[in-house]
Amino acid sequence: MARQQPDSDGKKFEWKNWSRVKRVGRYLRPYAWGYAVGILIISISSVLTLFVTRMWGQLGGVGVSGEAAAGPDMLGGLGIDMGDLQAIGWAILAILGVQAVLSFIRVYLFAHMTENMMLAMRRDAFQAVVSLPMSYYDTHSVGDLNSRISADVTAVQDVFTTTLAELLRQIIIVIGGIAALLYFSVHLTLLMLGTLPVMILAAIGFGRFIRKLSKRTQDQVATSNGVVQESLTGMVSVKSFANEALEILRYLASIREIRTLAMRGAIWRGAFASFIILFIFGAITLVIFRGADLMAQGGLASEHFFTFLLMTGLVAGSIGGLAAQFSALQRGLGAIDTLMDLLHEEREPVRTATELPATGSEPEHPSDLESAARDWLQPASLPKMKGEVVFDHVAFHYPNRSDVPVLRDLNLRIAAGEQVALVGPSGAGKSTIASLLLRFHEPTEGTISVDGKPLSEYPLTGYRLRIAYVPQEVILFGGDIRSNIAYGKPGATDAEIEAAAQQANAHDFILGFPEGYGTLVGDRGVQLSGGQRQRIAIARAILRDPDLLLLDEATSALDTASEKEVQIALERLMTGRSSLVIAHRLSTIRHADRIAVLSDGAVAEEGTHEELMAAGGLYRNLVENQELISSS
C-alpha cells in the first residue's frame, strides 16, 4: 500500500502575502458597517470592564477603611457616592447589565455576519474545487482540497467570530489598564511593568519550542491516522495477506512516537508553568509588599491599592492572552491565504464557475435539487451533434511528466454514428484519448475537432452535456438507485429513469430489491455487484441520450454472465451514436465498425476484426498472446 504524507494542519502566514489576504475583502465588504458597529460595542464593553474592576477595588477599599479617599478619581464624573457600598454595588450591577446586553448583541451580530460570509466562502470554495481542471487533481491530493473547504474555512470563521473581537478587547484592556495603573501609582506600575520583559521573552522562547513540539505531535497523529485509514481502506489486502500483525506493529510504532513527543512537550510545558508560577507570583508578592508599604505610609489609598491589584491581574491576563490570540490570528490569516489561492486558481470554463453569484445572495436552498440543476444547465445545452471526431497529429504529455510522451502524432477519425474500438498494450494511450475527448486535458500538439469544429471553440459545459462516459470503475454516489441514474439527466421523471433502466437491463434486478429504485447503494455503490454498478452507469448514460459515447473498459472486471447482460445493454446504447470503445475483450470489440490498434502513442493499424487478423500484425499478436481476451 502506498504511504501518504500527512497533510499539514495549517499554513504559517507570511506577511509578504498580505496582498493575497486582502482578497477576502469582497466577503467583508457587504458587512463593513456591521463590523464597525461590532467593534464599537467591543470598545465600549472593554472600557466598562475597566470601570467594573475599578469599582470592585473601591468596594474592597471602602470595606476596609470605611470611607472613600479624598481627591480626584477616575469615576468622579459618574455621580456615584464612592463612599457608599450600596451605591457602588448597584452601579456595578447596572454596568454588568449593560455589558451583558452589549455582549449578546455583539455575539449575535458577529455570528450573523460571519455565518453569511462563511456560506458564501464555503460555496465559492466548493465551486472552485469542482471547477478545477483534471490536471490540478493530477498534482494535488484530495485530502488537501477537502482540508481547504473544512479546516481552512473553519479557521477563517474563528478569526471573524472570536479572534479579532478578543484581540481588540484585550488590546483595549491592556492599554486602558496600564493608563489606569499609572493614574493610581506610577511607582507600582513601573515596578510591575519591569517584570514584563522577562516574562514576555520567556513566554516567546518557551512558546516557540512548545509549538514546534506540538506541530511534530500533530504531524505524527496525522501519520497514525493515515495508517488507520490505509489499513481500513485496504482491509481486503490486509486480511488476504494475513498482515494484521504487520499493521498493528506499524500503528504501534506510530503511536509510540506520539507518546514520546507528547511527553517531551509536557516536560517543557511543566517547566514553563513552574517558571510562570515562581516569577509571576514572586512579582505579585513584590508589588503587594511595596503597595502595602506605601499604604502604611499614607502614600496610597486602600481602595486604590485594591483596584491596582485587581487591574494588574486583569492586565496580566490580557497580556498573556494576546500571544494566543496573535497565534490564532496568524493561523487564520494563513488559512485565508491558502483559501484565496484556491479561489483564484485557474478553472475550467464550465458554466457554474463563471455565472453563479459571487456572494451569498442566492435564493433559498431549493427543495428539488435535480430540477434546479436541470433549469440551471438548460441554457448551456448545445444543438444535437453529428458526432464526427477527428484527431489530427495530436501529441500529449501530462504536465508533471513532460519527459514522458503519451501520444505521438496521433491521427484518428470516427465517422458520425460509427463504432470505433481502441486496443493496444498497456500504456499505449487508450484512456488518454478518452480524457482528451472529454477535455479533461488539452493536447500539447495538434487539434481535436468534432463536426469540423475544434473542441476549444465549444462551450465546455454544453459540449460535455452531449457526451456520456462509462468508465471501467464505476463510482456511484451514496444515495439511492433512482438518484444515481438521474445523475445523467437532472430532473428526469420516474418514467424516464425506469425506461433507461430497462434498456440497460437493470430494471429487473432493481425491482428485486425490497425498496426498488429507492434502494440505497452505499458508499461508492459497494452494496451492488460490479455488473449491477455497470448497468446503473449504462442507464445513466442512456438517460443522457448522448451524441458521443465513450466506453473505457466497461466490461473488463465482470464475470461472463454479467458481461453478457452488460454487453446487450451496451449494444443498445451504442446504436446510432458515435462511439469510442476502449476494451481488451474480443466480445466487446469484435463487432465494432473499425478497430484502431495503438502502439507507442500512435495508431499502428486499423480495420475490422477479420481484416486485422488476416493482416497478421500487432492486433493478431495481441489476440494470440491473449492480451485480448476471449470471454466465451
Q: What is the pLDDT of residues 269-319, one digit of tens each?
A: 788 778 777 776 777 777 777 777 777 776 677 777 777 778 777 887 777
Residue with cell 458587512: 31
Q: What is the per-residue pLDDT for 279?
A: 74
Q: Is the pLDDT of residue 421 over 80?
A: yes
Provide the H-helix boundaries in 347-475: 351-355, 369-377, 430-437, 460-464
CA distance 580 to 549: 6
Beta carbons of 593 and 420 less than 8 angstroms apart? yes
Beta carbons of 166 and 321 less than 8 angstroms apart? yes
Query: Band of the pLDDT at 411, cuts 50, 70, 90?
Result: very high
Q: Is the pLDDT of residue 50 over 70?
A: yes
Q: Which of 95-104, 371-380, 570-579 is least confident?
A: 371-380
Cα→Cα distances 268→109, 203, 208, Å:
40, 12, 11
pLDDT tens string 145-168: 776 777 778 888 888 888 888 888
> Phi and psi (nearest 5°) for 626?
60, 25
Q: Right CATH number for 389-624 from 3.40.50.150, 1.10.10.60, 1.10.287.70, 3.40.50.300?
A: 3.40.50.300
**Nearest CA-CA partner of 303 in 83, 74, 59:** 59
Q: Is the pLDDT of residue 35 over 90?
A: no
Q: Right CATH number for 31-348 from 1.20.1560.10, 3.20.20.70, 3.30.70.260, 3.40.50.11900?
A: 1.20.1560.10
Strand 594-599 with 453-454, pairing: unpaired
Confidence (pTM): 0.72
Beta carbons of 341 and 128 less than 8 angstroms apart? no
Query: Band of the pLDDT at 104, cuts 50, 70, 90?
Result: very high
pLDDT tens string 505-559: 888 888 988 888 888 887 767 778 878 888 888 888 888 888 898 888 766 656 6
All three cell numbers of 186, joined, read 506610577
All three cell numbers of 5, joined, read 504524507
How much helix, strand and coil, in percent to the nearest 5, is found in the chain? 65, 10, 25
All three cell numbers of 283, joined, read 512579582
All three cell numbers of 251, joined, read 500503528
Q: Which of 27-41, 402-416, 577-591 is least confident?
A: 577-591
In the chain, the amino acid numbered 631 is S
CA distance 598 to 562: 28
Query: Band of the pLDDT at 82, cuts 50, 70, 90?
Result: low
pLDDT tens string 329-387: 777 787 788 788 888 888 877 765 445 444 444 444 444 556 666 665 665 567 788 88
> Phi and psi (nearest 5°) for 438?
-80, -5
Q: What is the per-residue pLDDT for 561?
A: 66
Q: Is the pLDDT of residue 632 over 50?
A: no
> Phi and psi (nearest 5°) for 548?
-135, 125
Higher pLDDT, 334 or 432: 432
**Nearest CA-CA partner of 112 in 161, 169, 178, 58:** 161
Beta carbons of 384 and 467 less than 8 angstroms apart? no
All three cell numbers of 15, joined, read 506577511
All three cell numbers of 432, joined, read 488518454
Q: For the chain, give the mean pLDDT.
A: 78
Q: Residue ranges of the domains in the chain? A: 31-348, 389-624
Q: In this prediction, what percent of the chain has a pLDDT beyond 70?
A: 81
Higher pLDDT, 90 or 282: 90
Q: Is the pLDDT of residue 19 over 70?
A: no
Angle value at C-alpha 137, between 135 and 143, nearest 5 degrees? 165
Task: Give 560-596 as a DSSP string.
Answer: HHHHHHHHHHHHHHHTTSEEEEE-SBHHHHTT-SEEE
